[in-house]
Chains A and B, each alone.
Chain A
Amino acid sequence: MTVSEYNQCVHDIADGLYRFAYKTVSDDELAKDMVQQAFLTLWENCGKVPAGKAKSYLFTVAYRRCMDEFRSQKNFVAPEIVSEHLADRNHAPPDLKAVLQKALSKLTAQNRMLVLLKDYEGYSYDEIATLTGLNAAQVRVYLHRSRKQLKDYLVSVGHLL
């Protein structure tokens, strides 16, 4: 990976990586630190990582960092508390978005990250399995449970109908 390719990765992936980290840990400073650490790790290994694998490499580093934070049980705050301070350009109804964020906070950290990787980054079951170290069957089961949880929460508050 050349320097220009690395800088292009920063330009293309930094926002999505920050979004993933922030939605997982719900802490702006911690999310920024995770992003910086992930790109620093990529820069140190840029001779070994091809440009096409940079995105999965970065998300793998961020996922492992988030899992470490999850195990320490220190910095996990419900995203619904701070989401209103973020720049929001989506077109979904605010109530549905807020309800989804609240429903997302009810998931475990690992399931939350799986949903984020699936819905925000568009990874397949196999890609998520490679990235997280789980097998495809586990990813499928965890995601289906999460989907069902989110669906049941939405139905329970009566915002869907």
Chain B
Amino acid sequence: MKLTKENIETQIMLYVDNELSAEELRSLLTYLGQHPEYEALLREYQNSVLPPEELFFAEKNQLMQAENRKVIPFRIISGVAAAIAIILAIAGYYQWINNDDLLHNKRVMALNSSDSVANSQPKVVAKADNVGQKQDAAPAGKPYQRLHGRAQNVLPVNAPILVMQGQKKNVLAIKPMPLLPSAVIADIQQPEQVEVAPVEPDFSEQQPIAAQEPAHQPGVLPANQIAAILEQSDRLKGAHSLVAELDERKNKAVDTWQQIKSANVILKIGSKKIMIN
């Protein structure tokens, strides 16, 4: 900037305030050297600068803080608080889920502690060809044993019921295993004439108990004869289809047996329904 008498006063004030760059300062000093009439103005502005003056604040000790007091930045405190809140929320959520599962899995059961149930002997009945007729096909088995504690009379939603349709009957080969429930066979077509044919496992025998089949029903072969029949009559026409059908039935029965093992079973004795789980 070129110095003139119009801007010299401003440059002098900037000089007094220490706001000039090195180049500007050099220019000003050169100009003042060439124009000594402005030296008095420079001196007047220099005298307007406040001289150093010391004042002492006597209460500094009241302002100071104890040295052993640690200052934790607010962002750290807020971060820790947020982390704790998140952990508590997650723990509360899992707790809520577990409680909900317990309530969901809890079965509402009522006790049926009738003595007649404990002392009654299950009857082994077979479904006759004629609907509505009851027939005792075999002598009564062992007295009913409560295998899983209390007997129930409330029908659960997952209770499997073996269905007997018409003349065909699902037969199970019961293996001697502990805590075996009884099988329930019911005819859903005639619900008012449901006949229960509990098959009690015989724990005294180590051999699988063969299913009880009335001999007067042709076409229904015991499972233990299937292999022999297969060996002997593979040349028989139609036997293959029959064997395949029997195999299929056997597999279905095994699947159903697996379901029964893991599910509740309803035992109907007379007019009473007892759930075993």
Contact = CB atoms under 8 A, between A and B. Distances in A.
A136 to B, nearest CB: 10
A92 B65 contact: no
A118 B17 contact: yes
Contacts of B48: 100, 103, 147, 150-151, 154
Contacts of B66: 3
B19 A124 contact: yes
A145 to B, nearest CB: 10
Interface string B66-77: 111111111100
Given A7-B64, A10-B63, A155-B44, A22 B55 contact: yes
Contacts of A6: 64-65, 71
Interface in B41-73: 43-45, 47-57, 59-60, 62-73
A61 to B, nearest CB: 13
- Chain B contact surface mostly: loop
B16 A147 contact: yes
A88 B71 contact: no
Contacts of A160: 43-44, 47
A39 B74 CA distance: 18
A96 B51 CA distance: 9
Given A22-B55, A90-B54, A154-B44, A48 B71 contact: no
Interface in A96-117: 96-97, 100, 103-104, 115-116
A18 B65 CA distance: 19
A86 B55 contact: yes
A125 B67 contact: no
Given A3-B70, A36-B63, A97 B51 contact: yes
B10 interface: yes
B65 A147 contact: no
A47 interface: yes
Interface string A136-156: 000010011001101100110
B269 interface: no
A125 B17 contact: yes
A7 B47 CA distance: 36
Nearest to B76: A47
Contacts of A140: 19
A144 B43 CA distance: 15
A14 B60 contact: yes
Contacts of A104: 50
B249 to A, nearest CB: 80
Contacts of A22: 55
A-side interface size class:
35 or more
A7 B74 CA distance: 20
Contact of A119 (B49, B59, B62, B70): B49
B22 to A, nearest CB: 15
A10 B50 contact: no
A65 interface: no
A97 B97 CA distance: 81
B184 interface: no
A53 interface: no
Contact of B62 (A36, A46, A88, A92): A36
A66 interface: no
Contact of B19 (A116, A120, A125): A125
B65 A17 contact: no
A78 interface: no
Interface of B: 10, 13, 16-19, 43-45, 47-57, 59-60, 62-75
Given A10-B60, A19-B54, A96-B51, 5 more contacts: A18-B56, A100-B48, A120-B52, A144-B13, A147-B45
11 contacts: A3-B65, A3-B68, A36-B59, A86-B55, A100-B50, A124-B18, A147-B13, A154-B47, A160-B43, A160-B44, A160-B47
The 3 A-B residue pairs whose C-beta atoms are closest, nearest first, are A119-B50, A150-B48, A92-B51
